[in-house]
Structure 1
């Protein structure tokens, strides 16, 4: 294989794009992307001008909020199904309107030359050379993806391994090299070889400050034709990964999503069969997560696909919100089905909270995650579609199940919302509130009680507004202090996006508070995706006439009118 070349690229936020007239074009970009994606699997050695444009567009979207370096992967020399230009996010940027400059919020202190060396040395440690690759930078922590650990077959003969693992269909294989597991020479050499290559993998993990490793495999080892072809950190006999926090979170592979498609794309009530012979990896997580997340993990085999995905996402969000600087690795077997599912959900969930890619619009973050997390990292969409294994569609349709604030990574303050309707308040004296005054509380995790101490503070000032003031635990603030806070809140609207999109309806029905911005953002992404998907790939009903589930989706597709499509829904 070739060597990795990293080139530092100082990138600032691109010029702001006017929203007017561009939304349709951005949606058409997604239509074109999904159409191409549905016809071809990305290979770094086979790049067309259309793919080059996708690569360029992806880099531009990263540049809006980050300074990054590029790990060059020309012709797939490092990894055949990783991007030619692998983005290493170095600094998160924030645009300062006063100085008109970008300022660094979080920065990952990594020496590029050191990273270059570690990547070169560690790439053989994992299946298909899909090394540990950082893809999301959140609060200075790297969220990484990879495949699982390579077994003896791949380490001793990559060509033979590819042949065995793919069933003889891999385009890179010639004649298989026979490697027998019971060969004494091979067995005796295993330990020394594994010490070397897995040692490099561990050094890379440590250099990226990764502490948590979430393994989505339902197997301890992947068996193909009776041979162990891949392994996992959780069954490393030498306990080389003992210093990491290993979490075995078994999740159904792409084959299971044919059942999802055959049930007319309904995940509710769809439960994986954990009694199959090859399923031998139990869910194993540290006991502390039983308390912190209030999830009964012992019941995981009874969860349907919705609850299982929700709980796993909660777990991942909890890990990256730990108080230390620890990063996270997520992987399955090859790292191109279940892995992008959770990487994409993490990226979109954090974006909806405004903590990553904060300058991107819904269509832009959708393009970025489809192009980078799925297409450029080698997801085999044409193959999956031909088999009805629609894990890609499931990912974006699932956004409707994570709009709640309980999936938010942001620890929100408690807010009290005040709505005034022609009330006269006087600062000089304390008066009670009339029935025309409505007060609503909103807090992450549920509502709280509001006492007269919180409200007995207003005086004669004309007001017609909806304000939000943070409530803190402890003694209630004085009327003057809280009044000042309210005046300050009035100068900073709760959400420009909410007020602009819902102002007309709210003025008429006094709707306050408005729908959470997280929900609005995720629903927008999902609607854009559904419209683009319907006009390219389409949904295939397993019944003669579309079921109620598909009919409901078609109604949402209709919201994306105006998108030019390549073919209609089937």
Structure 2
């Protein structure tokens, strides 16, 4: 029996490695499907079918969107009943298909609003941002929009600016039509909340606004929706992540760049219970920023509101799959979605569906060193905490902490002065996830923080090492951060094996004393996420590998990935390139 289980695990691990190998060499295009890609598509449908009844939105040969799946899954409800005859659709799929066909022109590259996760009857959707007039006219032409004609080059062509004043004067009528269809689709999917990850209000290309956003729609067509502007660095920023030996701690985006003009704007109703000082967002490093944004998204979909959520960036194929994938994996770790899937199966599904079949350009990103795909799965070590769980826990009673939801993780992250520890934090800066003191008061209206962040954090920033990046403190050498394979996941940040054994958690460059041998106790959530991460690292090591930026850290990276490769039955052949 044990041998059979081991064999099954090895086969699933090889399946993931094969998927990543193909993904690293090929960008998915719906009209260029090979037998190998066809197997991936069918495997995704099989994995969705384990826990859900679903309908299919047809995108054969990519006629709706050239880099969306040929068969787009519309999850209807949870069910493990294998009898297909028992399936009763909850939606008019023909109407949904029609709305999709009509609304694709409203968004950049035709990447329309698409439901991808079903949680508590709510749809989590993804898309690109709104198309601006430059892209819209450049791709299709005014006559095409109103004649009902076809344009086979829609999905693949680049933006071509159009300077015809007469055409530009038709903006209002044109946008009313295409954005009206987009809004109908959003409402049909019961989406109310829209989270925009763009750091710009509008994307400028060739001196023209080629894409826009719901938050700056002049006619306020999206006034019925709750809009959240949560600016997050684009894929270019993850070149800095790779160049720092895949270290996200201490890596801070430079918010003072000319093109960055979208402020963090969140309705006050979503800031009350998260214990996060959103005014400090421009001082957060990549770990804190990703953690806090994920907490926000989880808080939205776990609210009592029955409405769904749309997440998008510009094109919807870098930052968007990052957060969609983290949402899916976090919910799965809680047993809230895809309950029957094993770690290898949920990993396969999210890589194949959320990244590959939705057109992420991994070959291009790897060639540029923009390791956002790797970051997503390596980041799982930072969300093992119960703070990211959607399972609501009863407040502790008869406790001095009765007004807050303290967990073991909270106690682990209390400042040394609050705990009475003899080990002090760095006087310069400590990358604790969030201050666990009383939440600061925030304005009752949506919080616009673009003018607060730089001043609030100016004393903590060093000289810019690149146009996109600001660093705090000296990065911890990679060999000091190399985790022990058995204890690495027990903290929300990487720690050295010696420090783990001595009872320390390293966050950034400041060690934080932990009472006793360890503070973070194991949990099912932690074990599940650690298993997914280990499987990913092993498969990534045996296929793509990590490119070390310095000889001194090559051995550490190689050793780390080799440990995981041996642990799950794969041996990395090209861990360091």
TM-score range relative to shorter protein: 0.7 to 0.9
**Structure-1 residue corresponding to 2:492:** none
* CA displacement at 1:379 relative to structure 2: 0.2
1:238–1:265 distance in 2 versus 1, CA, 3 Å: same
**Structure-1 residue corresponding to 2:548:** 541
* CA displacement at 1:154 relative to structure 2: 2.4
**Is the contact between residue 148 and residue 232 of structure 1 (CA under 8 Å) also seen in structure 2?**
yes
**Structure-2 residue corresponding to 1:399:** 380
Match of 2:272 among 281, 291, 294: 291
Match of 2:234 among 235, 245, 253: 253
**Is the contact between residue 258 and residue 387 of structure 1 (CA under 8 Å) also seen in structure 2?**
yes
**Structure-1 residue corresponding to 2:528:** 521
**Structure-1 residue corresponding to 2:560:** 553
**Structure-1 residue corresponding to 2:162:** 179
Measured in 1, the distance between the counterparts of 2:204 and 2:104 equals 22
* CA displacement at 1:340 relative to structure 2: 0.1
**Structure-1 residue corresponding to 2:213:** 232
| Correspondence 1:75-224 to 2 at 5 A | 75-94=61-80, 109-158=90-139, 172-173=156-157, 178-180=161-163, 183-224=164-205
**Structure-2 residue corresponding to 1:48:** 34
Measured in 2, the distance between the counterparts of 1:262 and 1:193 equals 44
Match of 1:324 among 305, 310, 319: 305
* CA displacement at 1:299 relative to structure 2: 0.4
* CA displacement at 1:192 relative to structure 2: 0.5
**Structure-2 residue corresponding to 1:475:** none
**Is the contact between residue 79 and residue 129 of structure 1 (CA under 8 Å) also seen in structure 2?**
yes
1:75–1:199 distance in 2 versus 1, CA, 3 Å: same
Helix, strand or coil at the partner of 2:532: helix
Unaligned stretches of 5+ residues in structure 2: 143-152, 398-403, 410-517
Helix, strand or coil at the partner of 1:268: coil
Match of 1:445 among 385, 388, 406: 406
* CA displacement at 1:289 relative to structure 2: 2.4
**Is the contact between residue 542 and residue 573 of structure 2 (CA under 8 Å) also seen in structure 1?**
yes
**Is the contact between residue 539 and residue 565 of structure 2 (CA under 8 Å) also seen in structure 1?**
no
Helix, strand or coil at the partner of 1:131: coil
* CA displacement at 1:243 relative to structure 2: 1.0
Measured in 1, the distance between the counterparts of 2:559 and 2:287 equals 18
Measured in 2, the distance between the counterparts of 1:128 and 1:157 equals 11
| Correspondence 1:31-70 to 2 at 5 A | 31-70=17-56
Question: Greater relative contact order: 1 or 2 (C-alpha under 8 angstroms, separation 6 or more)?
Answer: 2
**Is the contact between residue 67 and residue 155 of structure 2 (CA under 8 Å) also seen in structure 1?**
no
**Is the contact between residue 336 and residue 377 of structure 1 (CA under 8 Å) also seen in structure 2?**
yes
Matched, 1:274 2:281: no
* CA displacement at 1:223 relative to structure 2: 0.6
* CA displacement at 1:291 relative to structure 2: 1.5
* CA displacement at 1:73 relative to structure 2: 0.9
| Correspondence 1:401-550 to 2 at 5 A | 401-413=382-394, 445-446=406-407, 515-546=522-553, 550=557
1:415–1:551 distance in 2 versus 1, CA, 3 Å: farther
Measured in 2, the distance between the counterparts of 1:562 and 1:84 equals 33
**Is the contact between residue 530 and residue 556 of structure 1 (CA under 8 Å) also seen in structure 2?**
no
Measured in 1, the distance between the counterparts of 2:388 and 2:61 equals 39
1:318–1:548 distance in 2 versus 1, CA, 3 Å: farther
* CA displacement at 1:562 relative to structure 2: 2.7
Matched, 1:388 2:369: yes
Measured in 1, the distance between the counterparts of 2:160 and 2:263 equals 33
Q: Deviations over 1:508-541 (max 9, x none)?
A: xxx9997210000000000000000011110111
**Structure-2 residue corresponding to 1:303:** 284
* CA displacement at 1:554 relative to structure 2: 2.9
* CA displacement at 1:238 relative to structure 2: 0.3
TM-score, normalised via structure 1 length: 0.74
TM-score, normalised via structure 2 length: 0.73
Measured in 2, the distance between the counterparts of 1:359 and 1:332 equals 31
Unaligned stretches of 5+ residues in structure 1: 1-17, 162-168, 417-442, 449-510
Matched, 1:376 2:357: yes
**Is the contact between residue 256 and residue 389 of structure 1 (CA under 8 Å) also seen in structure 2?**
yes
1:144–1:173 distance in 2 versus 1, CA, 3 Å: closer
Measured in 1, the distance between the counterparts of 2:131 and 2:187 equals 19
Measured in 2, the distance between the counterparts of 1:444 and 1:63 equals 36
